[in-house]
Every structure is written in C-alpha cells, then in structure tokens.
A and B are shown apart, each in its own frame.
Chain A
C-alpha cells in the first residue's frame, strides 16, 4: 500500500529513533494531541522503542471521548423516539451515557443506523418523509466540513425532516485550556495532522509564541510520529519554540480553503463542555442562526434538560488532560474494560484507555 507502508518501515523508524537518542540530554514530556496518534503509538509498539527520556502523554483529541455526557444522553433520548431515525458514526454507539448507550437503544427497538458518510442521512430522510432523521454531528475540525455539507445540502434540496445534534469541538481552544491549567506539565505538542489538513497551522503560531512551546504538526503512522517527536525535541534541546510541519505530504500552512469556507458558512464558535475536562470558552461549533431549523436541540426542546451522572471511578478527565496515564486508574482492566466501559476513553478507537487496553497490557504488566 503506497504512502502507508513506507511510514511503517522498521529501518526508517530505527534511524529516526537513533537520531533522536543522539540529541537527547534530559527528560521531556510531549503531548500527542490526537487519539489517532495514541493508538498508532500503542498499536505499533512505538512506546517500547522510544528512548526512556521521552515521556508521551495523551491529549484530548478524541472527539468521541470529549463529547459531553449530557449530549450522549440527549442522543439516547432522541434515538429512543419512534418518530426519529438516529444516524451516527460507528464509534459513538458503544459510548456509555448515564444509564444506557446507543447500541442498547438499537437493541430495544430504536432505529439507530451507522453511517460511513454523513450525507447518507439525507438519503435516509428522503426515503422516510414521515420521520425526522437526526445525525450525531461530532468531531474536531476534521469532520466539520462533511458534517456542515449535510446542512447545506438539506437546505438546498428542501429536505426539512433532517436535523443534527451538534457536538463539534476545536483544537486550539483545548491547547489554550491545557496551557492555562497549572496541573498540566507539557514541554511540547504534537498537533493533529488531519485537523491541520483542513485548518492549516497558522492558528498555532500565536499559541506557540505566547506559551513559548514547540508545536509540531504530526501525522499518524509510526514514522510520522517519530519524525514529529524528533522535530519537537530538536527545538527543545536548542531552546527554540515554533510551529513546524512534520506532515508536509498532507498539510500546508493555510489548510484547505474550501473546507474552512463551508465550516464558516454553517457553524460559529461557541463555548462547549468537554467530557471529563469541563467548559472551555469558544471551543466548539454550533449551527449559525440561518441553519437553526436543522438544530436537533431546538427541534426537540423537550430533550433540553436531562440529568446526567458520571461514573465515580472513572478518571478519563485526567487522562484527557495528560495528567494521568490510563493504567494508573484503579478501575483500568478490572471494573473498566471495552466490554464494560466506565468512560468514553475505554470505548473509542481514538480513546487512550482503549489503546492501552487493546495493545499495551502486555508491556505494562
């Protein structure tokens, strides 16, 4: 497979690790922002090959994990309604709400469908005019353009029985929140390559300058990750702080203008609660006024007030801020497993706890 296997090459990985080892003079803590990177690190066993001086902590970049419990419960309430067809990316279905999850709603008779393309929601809406199709629009800037496209298309095609339950979040605000937190000790960031493919990395230049911290745009294959780490460590060892692009085969500084245009057309920034972290100002997207017809929370006002209850054992908030590692949780691997998750980080394909559980128990035990 071209453009993938080259980035999973053992020789190249080792060469980069050797170079990294040769410039290291002290311990450094880096945060990979995206859960996709966490999984790549654990799945490839890169964590065992990196020099011990590098401490990787795992960031909040798992959209499924940070979607607030309240919205999961709202999703469950909507999906349980007989007049609703609820559509979602597959990842969300096993995420535990206060008392249930979407897979259980499906088993109990709710019409819950997994989508591969959000635009399929519109097809389903056209085929089922007597129902309202509600799509769970979650994700970072990466999924924002295709999700925004559904609303634009619905409006253009006059499809009225479609709505989106929006839980979009953005990366730069999360980096600010982490840097402002006195408990988070990170020397450098590996930023998420796919988010920057859409948004570019100009937004990060001010952050890097203000907080005097290196930010390196990093891809997802093992060679990409080591490349990102190497660039970040080189800056740290040279006492530099700037934004560097270690994912140039996909990312340019300005990003994808078409993607950004449709985001701006449909969404506006808003304050948003991140599961396990709390409210972060200006950290999410909501639908603009002219698309309010498609806002599921406005369409179904009765789902507004839902009481939520988090597990008392789960420390996913600390994991998402890089303050704890998954295996430091007392519930990890016993009360909390992918079959019996207490928090979303144990479920998602980008969740740090799931990555540790699936790939890493051997190395950690």
Chain B
C-alpha cells in the first residue's frame, strides 16, 4: 500500500469543491470536464507528455533508445472493475497502475508510459475520485512510469459501479530478452516470489455479505524492479507470468498449455499465510485459485534456479521466494500437484467464477 500522508487529507480543489459528486457534465467535454482535468488529473499525473493536452501525445523516444537499444515494444491493456473500490492494502487506482506495469514487466519489458481511461458513474463522490487519482499518481512514481494520455467519460447513475479504470501500457523489451509462456522446457525450475492468495482474500474480507475481520492485506505491487533484479542475474528466463485472476493454478495451466509441457509442483512448497489458508478453509476455496496482484511465476533452466532464487530473495518483493516445482516431460499441457500426504492430483483451470461450497 502506498503511504502518502496527503492522501487521507485530500480535499477537492476549487472549483471542484462546488461539486461534491461527479455529474454527467464532468464527461461532456465542456467547462466542467476542463476543470476536472486542470484541477485533478493534470496536477496529479503532472508530466510534459500529459501537459501537451492534445488529442494524442507525441513521445520522443531518442533518449529512451539510448539506454535500451530499440528492439521490440511491449503493449498491453487492462480494465479494472474491482468492488469495493478500497480494500485492505490498496485500491482500484493502485491496481490499475501496478496491474499494467506488471503485464509489461512479464515480457521482460521496461514499462514507460501508461494511458488512463476513467468511466465514472454519476454521483461518485469527488473525494473518492481524488483519493484514487492521487493514489495512482503515487503508484506511477513507485513504478517509474508516466501517464501520458487519458480520457474521462461519465455514465448515468446505475450504469456503472462507481468507477472503472482502463490502463494501457507501453514498454520496451531489451534485445537479449525472450520471455514467453511458450518457452517452458522439461527440467526447468518453477519459482514464485512469495505467499499466494493475499489479494483475493483481502477483497473477499470486505465484500458485501461476507465481511470478516482479518489482517490479510492485498499484495498489490509493481514487479518491474524485481524482474530487473532477475534479468541482472540471467537473461535466460523462459517464462514470467503474474498470477492474477485464477491464481497460481490458472497461470501454471497457461504455461503448460502454451509450452506443451507438463508441470508438477509440491503443494507444501507453495507459501501461504496461515490467515489466508484458514479463510479459504472456512469458505471452501482453494488458495491456488485465489487472485494475487504482486506475485509472479518464474520459469528458468534448473542450472540458473538457485542464482535467480537468491536474487529474488534479496528484493523486498521477493523475501519469501521459493522453488515450488518443475517442468516435466509427462502429461503435456497438464498441471499436477504432489499432495500433503504424498498423493498426486490434477490442478485444473477454474471452471468459472469461484463459488463457495454449501457446507
């Protein structure tokens, strides 16, 4: 979570103060929208690109290409519709920035520029938007990216869930890096940078109808710096995937399918906080399917595994990193787990939305 003391004290600057909530006019392209841009978005995301205030932003990449040789662009987009907007350990704004940074970082790219598209529901408190936007600005500083383009639309009350954000990201992939979900090879080691399930269970703990008291916090974090630390050790990284929706199980299945290889991991090796484990037990959920926002799977040749693990453990976002399994010749496209009692089972893709069991 971003500890910006100004966040809680954020108050609407004049003339937004006249509007304690978002109204349709804030998306109409007129004076009110201009106020919103001038007094909220521009100061928060302050940079030369956004200051162009043009239909599209012109970005001069000469300097960037001097530090990273021009090779390939990484380009991604993601929409954020999380409910509630604020949850233990973060909010929708941070997620929107870190999520897109992480998607870029999973190609080994250096994330550079993001766009931010806001869909606001009429009646959204201006204060809520202010908190989210300022949190996004702080997240950009932490992740080392700039918001270079933006858009705002307002929809009628009842046509949205307060606030949706879309972010699109651009990054540059260094020449020597070739990371893809297709690259896992039998014998490769599979690593993870820490505990799984924190984000999903933090969200569940505050979801309407289920509120339970817990100390679980979302793990939302930008992983690009951790990826840099790994790439300093070796560029021979076969796969990187952040284990977001569908959790660890979905990501491992994606890698197994794309690489046409089998994956086997040890259930006991996967780090899970006792609180998360207990909450999953109570709700009848499997922590391997729960979403994360700051966890990634790293697939590297076995010979490099220890070195990469050491580098990950030295990074603040990888203190609890560990090797959880390996890529195998058998059962291509399928993920299996060694169970706590020494049996073996399939770990499949989740069928759909996770539904808590009856008893």
Interface on A for B, CB 8 Å cutoff?
1, 4-5, 8-10, 13-14, 36, 42-49, 63-64, 89-94, 103, 113-116, 120, 138-140, 142-143, 194, 222-223, 338-339, 348-350, 357-363
Contact = CB atoms under 8 A, between A and B. Distances in A.
Q: Which 3 pairs from chain A and chain B are nearest by CB?
A: A45-B343, A90-B355, A338-B351
A45 B357 contact: no
Contacts of A363: 344-345
Contacts, number: 109
B355 A93 contact: yes
Interface of B: 209-210, 274, 277-278, 281, 283-284, 331, 334, 336, 339-346, 348, 351-352, 355-359
Given A338-B352, A349-B357, A360-B346, 19 more contacts: A4-B281, A5-B340, A8-B340, A9-B341, A44-B339, A47-B343, A48-B343, A63-B359, A89-B357, A91-B356, A94-B351, A115-B209, A116-B283, A142-B359, A194-B359, A223-B341, A348-B357, A361-B346, A363-B344
B352 A222 contact: no
A251 to B, nearest CB: 15
Contacts of B341: 8-10, 13-14, 44-46, 49, 222-223
A38 to B, nearest CB: 13
A120 B277 CA distance: 25
Contacts of A120: 209
A362 B358 contact: no
Given A1-B274, A349-B284, A46 B358 contact: no
B331 A49 contact: no
Contact of B343 (A49, A113, A143): A49
27 contacts: A1-B278, A9-B340, A10-B342, A14-B342, A42-B345, A44-B340, A49-B342, A90-B357, A91-B357, A92-B358, A94-B351, A94-B355, A103-B352, A114-B355, A116-B209, A142-B359, A338-B351, A338-B352, A348-B357, A348-B358, A349-B357, A349-B358, A350-B358, A359-B345, A361-B346, A362-B336, A363-B345
Given A349-B284, A359-B345, A43 B359 contact: no
Nearest to B282: A116
A89 B345 contact: no
Contacts of A43: 339, 345
A116 B281 contact: no
Given A49-B343, A120-B209, A362-B346, A1 B277 contact: yes
Nearest to A364: B346
A143 B351 CA distance: 25
Contact of B345 (A5, A45, A140, A142): A45
A46 B342 CA distance: 8
Contacts of A90: 355-358
A90 B352 CA distance: 12
A348 B340 CA distance: 23
Contacts of B345: 42-45, 359-360, 362-363
B358 A45 contact: no
Nearest to B212: A116
A223 B342 CA distance: 12
B284 A45 contact: no
A114 B284 CA distance: 14
Given A116-B209, A120-B209, A91 B358 contact: yes
B315 to A, nearest CB: 28
A42 B348 CA distance: 13
Given A90-B355, A91-B357, A138-B358, A362 B281 contact: no
Contact of A64 (B274, B283, B351, B358): B358
Contacts of B355: 90-91, 93-94, 114, 349
A31 to B, nearest CB: 19
Contacts of A222: 340-341
A344 to B, nearest CB: 12
A227 B277 CA distance: 24
A90 B284 CA distance: 11
A45 B281 contact: no
A139 B340 contact: no
Nearest to B284: A349
A89 B346 contact: no
A194 B358 CA distance: 12
B282 to A, nearest CB: 9
Contact of A1 (B281, B284, B344): B281
B91 to A, nearest CB: 24
B351 A362 contact: no
Nearest to B355: A90
Given A8-B341, A362-B345, A139 B278 contact: no
A359 B334 CA distance: 11
A13 B346 CA distance: 20
Contacts of B340: 5, 8-10, 44, 222
A143 B345 CA distance: 29
